[in-house]
Amino acid sequence: MKAIAVIPARGGSLGLPGKNIKPLNGIPLVGRAVLAAVGSEYISDVYVSSDSREILEVGTRYGAHAILRPDDISGSTASSESALLHALRHVAETDGAMPDIIVFLQCTSPFTTSAHIDAIVRGIVEQNATSAFAATEDHGFIWQIADDGSAVGITHDETKPRLRRQDMTPRYLETGAVYAMRVPEFLETQNRFCGRTVLVPVDMPPVEIDTPADWEVAEAFARLHDPLMTVPGQKIKALVTDFDGVHTDDLVIVHQDGSESVRCSRSDGMGIEALKKRGLRLLILSREQNPVVKARAVKLNMDVQHHVHNKLPALDAWRIEQKLDWSEIAYVGNDLNDVECMQACGMSFAPSDAHRDVLGIAGVKLAKQGGQGALRELSEYLIANNLVVQ
């Protein structure tokens, strides 16, 4: 039995532009779907189908094959099935044969895991089905509005006493995350629900990203638990930080003699110490020329470069000196002069009070503000998710 995974990912998105390549916890949505498929014990090959070369480039970076989708099946009205059928034709032409099972994954479900995919494929095989999909148990009460404007129960009878949850007949909500189909039946019906269909209950957070509000919910959940943070290749060897707005609250006290002082967090110092003990290489990279930057770096036992106006070349030189790949560096910044470095590094973080453009490109938006525990939060995040190479 040969099973492949196909991830349709259009370049256009009305609700949240660019969402398919927007990093969530440092991993773009399309990359998260690819990683889940790559880790499946059943999937032999993973394909990303898109009209966007940028999305395809990201997909291949995480281990997928690229399928450039034609414009006539790439618009907002094009069905997912049309992309799957096009992908199957591509696979047949390049491999010389059709797979037995196609697994359809959606980027908008960011917490899909390899275990979820394996469960759906097993559902087809073990239950002698032709299609299967992921579902979660649902206990909600659904209503609709009748022609006369009154409310009518759909999943319950409002004229009778309400049942306790444990007395209800189990109901399930389609997650929209994972579908699997036997290829011959899918080709015949051109419908993801083909022949005998079974649902497979999964333990999956009910998060589907279509709007900015959905993204905020996903970020909040990911800060607590992100199953993809333990995947190979996501660990770092170095952390680079801006100074003002990261180590400090971005305020300065000017004394009568013209000297300046800033305020830092002792809690952040403890977080930096914990990372240092795990062997992480640490650098402060700052545009500020105040000697307090160097003094704080000495206190924290961090490398420091300050009064740096063009940060990316300076970071690149340090990276080469340290024999590091960009993917092995995490960067935390708060203002526009940090953007290039954040985009170049493998992981990027921003305090919650960073500039809005910085928050927009940060892989992880921290809950704490600069100088008020952001670095401690970052250190605990890296350690808890086993992201530091030791």
Region 136-155 average pLDDT: 88
Owner of token pair 């000297």: 259
- Separation between Cα atoms, residue 76 and residue 281, nearest integer Å: 46
pLDDT exceeds cutoff 60 at 364: yes
pLDDT exceeds cutoff 60 at 6: yes
From residue 345, give the alpha-carbon distance in Å to each of 38, 170, 219, 245, 348.
23, 46, 20, 19, 7
Yes or no: say if 281 and 236 are a contact pair by the CB < 8 Å rule: no
pLDDT exceeds cutoff 70 at 326: yes
- Separation between Cα atoms, residue 94 and residue 250, nearest integer Å: 56
- What is the model's pLDDT at position 98? 95
Identify which of 384, 380, 357, 386 has the alpha carbon closest to the alpha carbon of residue 367.
380
- What is the model's pLDDT at position 220? 84
The per-residue DSSP string of 354-386 comes to S-HHHHHH-SEE-SSPTTTTHHHHHHHHHHHTT
- What is the model's pLDDT at position 129? 97
- What is the model's pLDDT at position 132? 98
293-310 pLDDT, tens digit each: 999 999 999 999 988 999
Name which residue leads in pLDDT, 227 or 1. 1
- Separation between Cα atoms, residue 66 and residue 123, nearest integer Å: 28
- What is the model's pLDDT at position 142? 86
pTM higher than 0.85 for the full model?
no
Region 333-354 average pLDDT: 93
- What is the model's pLDDT at position 205? 84
**Helix or strand (DSSP H, E) at 89:** helix 80-95
Tokens of 176: 């929209």
52-80 pLDDT, tens digit each: 999 999 999 888 999 999 988 888 788 99
Region 86-92 average pLDDT: 96
> What backbone phi and psi angles, to 5 degrees, belong to 136?
-120, 150
3-state secondary structure 223-248: HHCCHHHHCCCCCECEEEECCCCCCE
42 three-class SS? coil
Identify which of 136, 135, 118, 132 has the alpha carbon closest to the alpha carbon of residue 36.
118
Region 355-380 average pLDDT: 89
Mean pLDDT rounded to a whole number for the chain: 90
- What is the model's pLDDT at position 229? 61
350 three-class SS? strand
- What is the model's pLDDT at position 233? 52
**Burial class of residue 366 (count of CB atoms within 10 Å of its CB; 0-12, 13-18, 19+):** buried
Yes or no: say if 80 and 168 are a contact pair by the CB < 8 Å rule: no
249-259 pLDDT, tens digit each: 989 888 888 88
267-279 pLDDT, tens digit each: 999 999 999 999 9
Identify which of 233, 274, 226, 235 has the alpha carbon closest to the alpha carbon of residue 375.
274
Name which residue leads in pLDDT, 220 or 33. 33
Query: With bands split at pLDDT 50, 70 and 90, how would you rate the model's confidence at 381?
Result: confident
Region 175-198 average pLDDT: 96
Query: With bands split at pLDDT 50, 70 and 90, how would you rate the model's confidence at 234?
Result: low
* Rounded percentage of the chain residues whose pLDDT exceeds 90: 63
Give Cβ neighbours of residue 73 (< 8 Å, ≥ 6 apart): 82, 83, 86
Region 323-345 average pLDDT: 94
**Burial class of residue 19 (count of CB atoms within 10 Å of its CB; 0-12, 13-18, 19+):** buried
